[in-house]
Structure 1
Amino acid sequence: MSSFAGVTVLDGHNQCHCEMSGVYASAGVDAGYHLLIVKGYSRTKEFFPTGENITSGHFVVGGHDWLLEYYPNGLDPSCADYISVYLTLLYDSDVDEEDVEVKFSFSLINQVEKQMPTYIRGTKTYSFSSSVPMWGIGKFVRRHTLEQSPDLICDCFTIGCDIMVCKDPKTKDDAGGTLPDIHQHFSTIVVD
């Protein structure tokens, strides 16, 4: 079972971050999940042009600090019709840190009570380093598709990010199975 690593609520220009720390350790792997709730989607789309993002609050999984980057109009012109989502490892510039092997996925959550992800993107292992601290999905969901879907409710939607950090390089392949199911936890999370 993965740990709840927090929730960030983005409301147009405003950001509210609720953090809970927890660590799940098994066979050299730590796992956790973070929820990014976007309220006022149409405002974020209007105020943040292609290439500009809104970030979540930082959260901890596997002993590392992370944040999510939400690009309402895509990371760059090649994905300007899409929402882009990236996971970023926050490095301490004073410390020479080793590469971090991570398996993660993003899912667009369809109505919390149904606990069904509409989209699940990204399930392979990535190597985060000080030179490449960010990995993600440039074409996570086409904006037009989201706007016509039941995932956008009252101008709001939720992205779940599930993360497994490989502590021991020998367990990288063993951890390569499936990510823990974050959707089993949603009934305990309430955000007004």
Structure 2
Amino acid sequence: MEGIYLALQSLGSTGTGSATAATRASSGGNLTSSSRSITQTINGSHHFKINGYSLAKGMGIGKYITSETFTVGGYQWAVYFYPDGKNVEDNSLYVSVFIALASEGTDVRALFELTLLDQSGKGKHKVHSHFDRALESGPYTLKYRGSMWGYKRFFKRAVLETSDYIKDDTLALTCTVGVVVSSTQGPKLYSIPVPESNIGAHFGELLESGLNSDITFEVDGELFPAHKLVLAARSPVFKAQLFGVMREKNSGVIHVKDIEPSIFKAMLYFMYRDCLPEESELSGSASPTTCTVMAQHLLAAADRYGLDRLRMICEAKLCEQVNVETVATTLALAEQHHSAQLKAVCLKFVAANLAAVIQSDGYEHLRESCPSLQCELLKTVAGVEDDTEMETPVIVNKKIASETIPSLDGSDANGRRVRPRT
């Protein structure tokens, strides 16, 4: 029994203590210890799309377009794109791309990779990388906030503008940063890696195979087999429809109206996998406008079936994709489905870009479908004017705002019809 107790006590020891006990037993009491230093990189990537490349040209030497900041290794970073070059000598021939340290830090050591994405689908990306090749002097050191690494001559402008790297007047860059970190470790217990959850993949296979499905949805002539219990667990609306007092008598096939088959299919995909398919798979196109329309329809479907997480995902995507052409329809959608955060974003965007939005095709839809937004829009415009200073503002002050902003029904504050400028 004493031997078993000592063995268990030894197994219960951890870290350096167990190693020392074993060493002491084998070497007559001499104390030894061990440790190791590990130097590695903490990697992170940021995808940066530049829409309207042709409009960015001519902004001037040294003028740049910057990405949102992103965090890697505890530091903030940003991508800087110079359409006309960073320096005078490179202006006529090259665009410049740099990665900058955007947070406080001294002597931050890192590796970098810049990838210009081939948008033709051929996969011929242009990659500048330091991850897969030896560096004579080691990783780069950024001394302070604002320090940059990159290429003054990243790509020849004339070649770029006739290449597959530009599609729909859009460039796409991926920036990868690997921050070098070092740590020291002592002895530790063995560990067993645990794989990521694959429950979504398993449920997705169940949906795709249709195995033991017990309900079929008919959507505009297309049939979608599914499983009642899965749908009821995910959606309170389906739960009531399939098992509650509102369940249909002939529940073998349910006919769904006012929704497109592709939207219903994407919604089912989400309900089983808890994620959305790739945008190109979802819409059949990677164009920003098509993706926005799909997200709008999905938001309406999510609201209809009580899928709160899907609804928030769609709101986030629409917030990222808001632009002059889509903001009016997105604002109308946010109003109709009580999406307060998305509505606030759209109101601020419209207020800041009022003249351009009025000329868009979606503005007429907004004016007709949501006339009650007029007062909120006026307040937002006035608030934007109070908070920002502009050389040529759309509105000078609140008094002028009430007199000159065309309302959603096409008239000014005095009821006179206002014709948008063409």
State the TM-score, normalizing by the size of structure 2.
Answer: 0.32
Structure 2 partner of 1:137: 151
| CA–CA separation in structure 2 for the residues paired with 1:188 and 1:79 | 38
Decide which of 121, 127, 131 is 1:120's aligned counterpart: 127
How much does 1:78 deviate? 1.8
Structure 2 partner of 1:65: 76
Structure 2 partner of 1:43: 55
Decide which of 27, 46, 51 is 1:34's aligned counterpart: 46
Structure 2 partner of 1:6: none
How much does 1:116 deviate? 3.7
Q: Flag the 1:30–1:154 CA change in 2: closer, same or farther, 3 A.
A: same
Decide which of 67, 81, 86 is 1:56's aligned counterpart: 67
Q: Deviations over 1:137-160 (max 9, x none)?
A: 111101101111111111111111
Structure 2 partner of 1:100: 108
Count of paired positions: 145
The 5 Å alignment of 1:3-22 reads none
CA RMSD of aligned residues (A): 2.6
| CA–CA separation in structure 2 for the residues paired with 1:153 and 1:131 | 34
Matched, 1:111 2:119: yes
Identify unmatched segments of 5+ residues in structure 1: 1-25, 171-186
The 5 Å alignment of 1:145-184 reads 145-168=159-182
How much does 1:188 deviate? 5.0
- Say whether the 8 Å CA contact 1:121–1:137 is kept in structure 2: no
* Higher helix residue share: 2
| CA–CA separation in structure 2 for the residues paired with 1:142 and 1:169 | 42
How much does 1:131 deviate? 7.1
How much does 1:66 deviate? 0.5
SS at match of 2:160: helix
Q: Deviations over 1:107-156 (max 9, x none)?
A: 11002744441x21242531111177111111110110111111111111
SS at match of 1:28: strand
Higher radius of gyration, 1 or 2: 2
* Higher strand residue share: 1
How much does 1:106 deviate? 0.8
Q: Flag the 1:131–1:37 CA change in 2: closer, same or farther, 3 A.
A: closer
| CA–CA separation in structure 2 for the residues paired with 1:104 and 1:69 | 14
| CA–CA separation in structure 2 for the residues paired with 1:69 and 1:110 | 19
- Say whether the 8 Å CA contact 2:48–2:174 is kept in structure 1: yes
SS at match of 2:57: helix
Q: Deviations over 1:83-123 (max 9, x none)?
A: 1011110233xxxx431111101111002744441x21242
Structure 2 partner of 1:183: none
The percentage of aligned residue pairs carrying the same residue is 28
Structure 1 partner of 2:265: none
| CA–CA separation in structure 2 for the residues paired with 1:188 and 1:103 | 29
| CA–CA separation in structure 2 for the residues paired with 1:79 and 1:150 | 22
| CA–CA separation in structure 2 for the residues paired with 1:41 and 1:146 | 11
- Say whether the 8 Å CA contact 1:75–1:84 is kept in structure 2: yes
Higher relative contact order (CA 8 A, sep 6+): 1
- Say whether the 8 Å CA contact 2:96–2:153 is kept in structure 1: yes
| CA–CA separation in structure 2 for the residues paired with 1:86 and 1:169 | 29
| CA–CA separation in structure 2 for the residues paired with 1:146 and 1:75 | 17
Identify unmatched segments of 5+ residues in structure 2: 1-37, 185-276, 280-285, 289-422
